[in-house]
Chain A
């Protein structure tokens, strides 16, 4: 599963230095190319709609989407403003992430550290992890109703597995020399976990959180498409039923922006918390 291997950053953090060595009349950085791509895409959208090649019903012009955004922010759609929809979605994923981190990390450490815990949790996690969350959403709805709790539970389950698996991998690959060094300095079992195992596994844990948050966000939006009265997914879904295409486009853009911001935030956190990662140590 490539999904659970540590993902490489999509955008290179540093511009590739070697490219500068080649004498060239003009040099364009990778980031500039990415920005240019987006600009061309937006420009194309604007041209296509301004020349009325496409019906606004299928693709509204950027200006209409922006106007709608302003309207949604001030007056709202389906009894709630854009902020309230956004708040509802963020609250659900925030709660789920909080409880997933709180439980998945200890479970992951137990799986990586203890043979019996591995025997108990490994089959459970591997059994439910490959099942798409939407496949067991009906069961959760039957058991727990259609309230906030079932949505948070669904997202929690989606986030839990990647974090637990990544943590267990991190714990299992702790350098045994570091463990022995700590033991010969008098570390107890708990001190080993606190001072050696947890920091060693931190890069893997953060990678797990990144993957989990990605999966969780998709699950959240999908869950809101099915059963909700607020949230970004609900907003898009209900707008689609009335063919309010500009709201649909706006909702998709906001969803994408939030996912992008979450990912970037976590990468920044990773750089701050584990500066030794990748330092060839």
Chain B
């Protein structure tokens, strides 16, 4: 099974004085859903771009099963904030796109794509055009597309950030179901505290200037949901509320710290 390792990663944009990320070490293995939470400017997206291979770290090493990461590849699937679907293809072709790139014959890739659409509750939407879908449906197509290429790790860049609160909760539950079934390691970034606490098995809190990890929590609310407990029951559990308040306090104390530094 896949094991993603980040060893003492730093990242710096060319020409910038301050690094965006410094000294990040992480391990992400099977059965793990790692959520990176932090205010804007804490380098969440940069971290995801590093793992995806869109940018190279200025120091440190990223490996997947011991093989160094060099550039984007199909073994690390990405779900983007604004779906990034291709409007000139219908839903089915979008989901099958990764397999098409890999040279899989049409019948085989379309069968796989149909399975993935069923997995994200979009069976029957195969021939729809992308612009006919709602925001939540587009994100589900994006998720199905990433999963169809059968990546070893799934990376998600604020996937539910642009959705309304109701759709967002549905999508969180859907993600947990998919994650449970596929058993792939998931790396997700968000700025929504409740989402982070609910989904993660591992929650890392990032602080800005430069981006670094201030806390690493092990949580089990997502697993409890997968085990059959209802989302509402979990979210009203005193332990959930306590964790959420703890994380909230940590995020606010960082902000306070930043303000005092600036003052």
Q: Does A184 contact B88, Cβ atoms closer than 8 Å?
A: no
Nearest B residue to A276, CB-CB: B87
Per the CB 8 Å criterion, the residue count for chain A at the interface is 23
Residues of B within 8 A of A276 (CB): 87-88, 129-131
Residues of B within 8 A of A281 (CB): 87, 130-131
B74 within 8 A of A: yes
Q: Does A199 contact B88, Cβ atoms closer than 8 Å?
A: yes
CA distance A181 to B82 in the complex (A): 11
Residues of A within 8 A of B129 (CB): 275-276
A242-272 contacts to B (CB < 8 Å)? none
Q: Does A180 contact B73, Cβ atoms closer than 8 Å?
A: no
A175 within 8 A of B: yes
A185 within 8 A of B: yes
Q: Does B88 contact A186, Cβ atoms closer than 8 Å?
A: no
Q: Does A184 contact B77, Cβ atoms closer than 8 Å?
A: yes
A31 within 8 A of B: no
A12 within 8 A of B: no
Min CB gap A129→B, angstroms? 29
- Encode B46-86 as 1/0 by CB contact (under 8 A) with A: 00000011100000000000000001111011101010111
Q: Does A180 contact B97, Cβ atoms closer than 8 Å?
A: no
A225 within 8 A of B: no
- Give the contacting residue for A186; candidates B84, B85, B149; CB below 8 A: B149
B102 within 8 A of A: yes
Residues of A within 8 A of B74 (CB): 184-186
Nearest B residue to A277, CB-CB: B87
Residues of B within 8 A of A183 (CB): 54, 71-72
The 5 closest A-B pairs by CB, nearest first: A186-B74, A276-B87, A185-B98, A183-B72, A279-B131
Question: Contact residues of B with A, CB < 8 Å?
Answer: 52-54, 71-74, 76-78, 80, 82, 84-88, 97-98, 100-102, 129-131, 145-146, 149, 155
